[in-house]
Amino acid sequence: MATARDFRRIARSLAGTTEAPHFDRTAFKVRRIYATLAADGKSANLMLTPDAQALKCAVAPAAFAALANAWGMRGATRATLAALTAAELRDALELAWRRALDKSPPRRLR
């Protein structure tokens, strides 16, 4: 069973990650936000690719679910920490972290 403490430890171990408040959550960012931790520490939202989201939700429906909004259609996925092992959480966080690294930086307005 993964915990909010595990989530923070793993996320902070990923190169370049910063942690900051984000509305009622805590955001973890490298170039872009790749994950947020709920204030109660029971769940996290991960920015996965739609394909990775579909796979995670199919393989572990008790642990992963697409957010029920437009963000969910783009890969935003809720992870229930108690339904994951620390290793499963690390795998999901690394997927989200890599996606954030692969994204090109936002274009500057002239």
What is the structure's pLDDT at 105? 57
What mean pLDDT value characterizes the chain? 94
The CATH number of the domain where 70 resides is what?
A: 3.90.1150.30
Closest by CA position to 30, among listed 40, 16, 45: 16
Quickly list DSSP for 32-86.
Answer: EEEEEEETTSSEEEEE--HHHHHHHHHH-TTTEEE-SSHHHHTTEEEEEGGGS-H
Is the entire prediction scored with pTM above 0.85?
Answer: yes
What is the structure's pLDDT at 107? 55
pLDDT tens digits along 74-94: 999 999 999 999 999 999 999
What is the structure's pLDDT at 80? 98
Contact 36, 25 (CB under 8 A): yes
Collapse the DSSP code of 29 into the 3-class scheme (helix H, G, I; strand E, B; otherwise coil) and give the result. strand
Number of domains in the chain: 1
37: containing domain = 4-102
